[in-house]
Amino acid sequence: MRPHLFPIFLLTTVLSISCLLSLSGADGDAELRVRLEKVYYDWRGAIINQDTAAWQRATSRYRQVMTKNLILSQQQVYPDAVFEVPIRPPELTQLRRLEVQAVGPTAHMIYFGKVDLGLDAESVPDNLLILRFLKEGDDWKFDTTRYMNLAGVPEIRASLAGGGDPDFLDKPEFNPPGYVPPVPKECGKPDYMAAYHIQSYGYAAIPHLNGFDYPKVEDNAENQLIIGGLMKGKNDFKLDLKPTPVPEGEERYFEINVMVITPNGEKPAVPVLQWSTKDANPPASQDLPLWVNSSTLKK
Domain segments of the chain: what residues?
30-174, 193-298
Q: What is the mean pLDDT of the chain?
A: 90
Secondary structure of 48-107 in HEC code, one letter for each residue: HHCCHHHHHHHECHHHHHHHHHHHHHCCCCCCHHHHCCCCCCCCCCCCEEEEEEEECCEE
Amino acid at 233: G
- For residue 86, the model assigns a pLDDT of 87
* Regions in the chain scoring below 50 on pLDDT: 1-28
Tell me how long the chain is: 299
Instruction: Evaluate whether 138 touches 70 at the Cβ level (below 8 Å).
Output: no
CATH number of 30-174: 3.10.450
- For residue 22, the model assigns a pLDDT of 35
- For residue 64, the model assigns a pLDDT of 98
Task: List pLDDT tens digits, range 18-29.
Answer: 333 333 334 448
Task: List pLDDT tens digits, range 198-233.
Answer: 999 999 999 999 999 999 999 999 999 999 999 999
Distances (CA, A) of 75 to 1, 18, 210, 212, 299: 12, 29, 17, 17, 22
- For residue 9, the model assigns a pLDDT of 37
- For residue 299, the model assigns a pLDDT of 64
- For residue 24, the model assigns a pLDDT of 39
